[in-house]
Structure 1
Amino acid sequence: MNIALWIAAGMLAAVALAGGFTKSFLPVEKLAAAHGGEWTGDAAPAFVRTLGVLEILAAIGLVLPALTGVAPVLVPVTAVCWVGLMIGAMITHLRYAGGARFAGLNLIYLVIAVFVAWGRFGIAPFAG
Structure 2
Amino acid sequence: MNVVLWIVQILLGLAFVISGAGKFVSPGPGARRQEAYREDFTPAQLRGIGTLEVLGGIGVVLPWATGIAAFLTPLAAAGLGLIMIGAALVHRRRKEGFAVNLVLLAMAVIVVVGRI
TM-score (structure 2 length as normaliser) = 0.92
1:15 partner letter = A
- Is the Cα–Cα contact under 8 Å of residues 32 and 40 in structure 1 kept in the other structure? no
Give the secondary structure class of the aligned counterpart of 1:7: helix
Residue 34 of structure 1 corresponds to which residue in structure 2?
33
Query: Which residue pairs with 1:126 in the alignment?
Result: none
Residue in structure 2 matched with residue 4 of structure 1 by the alignment: 4
From 53, 72, 75, the counterpart of 2:73: 75
Size of the aligned set, in residue pairs, is 116
Return structure 1 stretches of 4+ with deviation > 6 angstroms: none
**1:50 corresponding residue in structure 2:** 48
The counterpart of 2:63, out of the listed 56, 65, 72, is 65
- Tell me the CA shift for residue 15 of structure 1: 0.5
Identity across the alignment (%): 36
Contact kept, 8 Å, 1:28 with 1:40, in 2: the verdict is no
Aligned residues: CA RMSD: 1.7
Task: Select the residue among 98, 102, 112 that pairs with 1:117.
Answer: 112
Deviations 1:1-29 (A, max 9, x none): 111001001010011011011002x1267
Q: CA deviation at 1:34?
A: 3.4
Task: Provide the rounded CA distance (Å) in 1 between the counterparts of 2:46 and 2:29.
Answer: 12
Q: Measured at CA, do residues 30 and 41 of structure 1 come closer, stay the same or move farther in structure 2, by a change above 3 Å?
A: farther
Give ranges in structure 1 of 5+ residues lacking alignment: 122-128
TM-aligned CA distance change 1:88 to 1:31, over 3 Å: farther
Instruction: Output the TM-score relative to the length of structure 1.
Output: 0.84
